[in-house]
Amino acid sequence: MKILLVGAGLSGAVIGRELAEAGHDCRIIDSRPHIAGNCHTTRDGDTGVMMHVYGPHIFHTDDAGVWNYVNRFAEFLPFQNRVKTTAQGRVYSLPINLLTINQFFGTTLRPDEARDFIEDKADTSIDDPQTFEEQALRFVGPELYQAFFKGYTEKQWGCSPTELPASILKRLPVRFNYDDNYFFHRFQGMPRDGYTAMIAAILDHPRITVQLDTAYHPDMAAEADHVFWSGPLDGYFDYRLGRLGYRTLDFERFDGRGDYQGCAVMNYGDRDVPYTRITEHKHFSPWESHEGTVCYREFSREAEPGDTPYYPIRLVEEKALLEQYVDLARATPGVTFVGRLGTYRYLDMDVTIREALDTAQTFLSHESGGKAM
């Protein structure tokens, strides 16, 4: 079969590879000048630092199948994300852990004492937290919420945490020990040569052709037996029902020498600091050594048409519109919508790969029947 895959990010590359290995011819197009979508990494010409061009990407998963898969295509070196935050004039450790609690409250609590202490602060009248704010007040109480989450979240999402779902905060653990690893997952690491090299290796198959700087045109679909669409779901339908909301990021780059901030990611919890965080890219590759350093101040705002979409907003308004687009997608034979943009969900890389592998599997098992969704 002739397969067209729109988008050369993780979804397109993984599905393309699986189908190519099963004997299908895969044409992958991408409107950008590079592969790897928002995981794109590149070596900075001035300093030699490996840059996470669209912001930090740290690979973490509990899925052994996905971990084996990525290790087939890249050498992963150990990397644990240890995030710090500057709030109310001091630096703290994230995710909230025993050190954060003891430093913030000036205490010397042990784990059980800290648990009781935080439970006293928590608003236990909130039975089933629905919003981000309720989730925070229920699990960490007002002081930690104010310092670490409220301002940051207002900047990140451009709205009040009372309007956001609890699920966004559920991504972050609270720990009653001194473990400051940002993620719980068993497998964590960073591809030694960056994500773009890993995705190039996935795409390196004789049945795959990749065309960059190439916008989709319906004529291309007419030449294919099936299309996998990893571009924006609403974009496929020419935004005919309206636009699904996204947050986009602006990065303000600054260069220096040596070590600017001593860690890869420093968040800024205060509302009056306009950026959400500063990333210092050399710290994502701690096995390398560079004289120079490159940092990004990260600003979040609502995406305008033409901006790179990052985070699906998924507020009530978007959810209703999303349902209509999902109905349209279901009624579109011969096209499978995949990935973060194609399904309008906040997906980590490991989940994206798992879904891509499963989608390819489903497609291959229904091959003769045509559409797989």
User: Quick check: 38 binds ligand UDP (CB under 6 A)?
Assistant: no
CB closer to ligand UDP, 97 vs 267: 267
Active site residue ranges: 171, 175, 247, 277, 298, 346, 348
CB of 171 to ligand UDP, least distance (A): 4
Q: Where are the alpha helices (DSSP H) in the chain?
A: 10-21, 64-73, 98-105, 111-121, 132-139, 141-144, 151-157, 167-170, 195-203, 218-222, 233-236, 316-330, 339-343, 349-365
- What DSSP element (H or E) covers 77? strand 76-77
Per 3-state DSSP, the chain is made up of helix, strand and coil in percentages (nearest 5) of 35, 20, 40
CB closer to ligand UDP, 196 vs 267: 267
* Contacts (CB under 6 A) with ligand UDP, residues 171-190: 171-172
CB of 160 to ligand UDP, least distance (A): 11
**What are residue 42's DSSP bridge partners?**
51
CB closer to ligand UDP, 18 vs 355: 355
**Distance in angstroms (rounded) separating the CA atoms of residues 281 and 177:** 28
CB closer to ligand UDP, 15 vs 94: 94
Print the binding letters for residues 207-246 with ligand UDP: x by CB under 6 A, - otherwise.
----------------------------------------
Report how many residues bind ligand UDP under the rule CB under 6 A: 13
What would the two tokens of residue 230 be? Answer: 């990893």
**Distance in angstroms (rounded) separating the CA atoms of residues 221 and 204:** 23
CB of 18 to ligand UDP, least distance (A): 27
Asked if 230 contacts 6 with a C-beta cutoff of 8 angstroms, the reply is yes
**What are residue 90's DSSP bridge partners?**
87
User: Quick check: 359 binds ligand UDP (CB under 6 A)?
Assistant: no
- In the complex, which residues of this chain contact ligand UDP (CB under 6 A)? 85, 94, 148-149, 152-153, 156, 168-169, 171-172, 267, 269
